[in-house]
């Protein structure tokens, strides 16, 4: 098992963070098997592209809500980590109040 659950959509309330605000959150280690995805599908072109980690934030974005960790952005990075047999990922984690 790579992820805790493969979800499709964001069950948590809208947080409205900008890319700049996400960048202010320090990355921390997160276990892949504790993440719930918010996307059920991924384009293989973005996963396999040589520059897929060049654009955007270097760290995936995770939202912690009601005791669960939701992978909001960075599914291709998480899958690449899994393909390299890593069980831990460095991600920016936003904790939303319940």
pLDDT on residue 67: 96
pLDDT on residue 98: 81
Q: Is 30 exposed, middle or buried (0-12, 13-18, 19+ CB in 10 A)?
A: buried
Predicted TM-score (pTM) of the model is 0.88
pLDDT on residue 80: 87
Mean pLDDT by 10 residues, the chain (98 residues): 92 94 96 95 69 68 97 90 94 94
CA–CA gap between residue 36 and residue 75 (Å, rounded):
10
CA–CA gap between residue 68 and residue 66 (Å, rounded):
6
């Amino acid at each position: 098992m790579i992820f805790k659950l493969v979800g499709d959509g964001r069950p948590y309330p809208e947080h409205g963070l900008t890319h700049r605000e996400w960048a202010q959150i320090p990355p921390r280690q997160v276990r892949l098997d504790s993440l719930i995805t918010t996307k059920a599908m991924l384009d293989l072109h973005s996963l396999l592209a040589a520059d897929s980690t060049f654009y955007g934030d270097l760290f995936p974005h995770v939202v912690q809500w009601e005791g669960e960790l939701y992978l909001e952005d960075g599914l291709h990075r998480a899958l690449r980590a899994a393909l390299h047999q890593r069980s831990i990922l460095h991600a920016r984690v936003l904790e939303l109040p319940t």
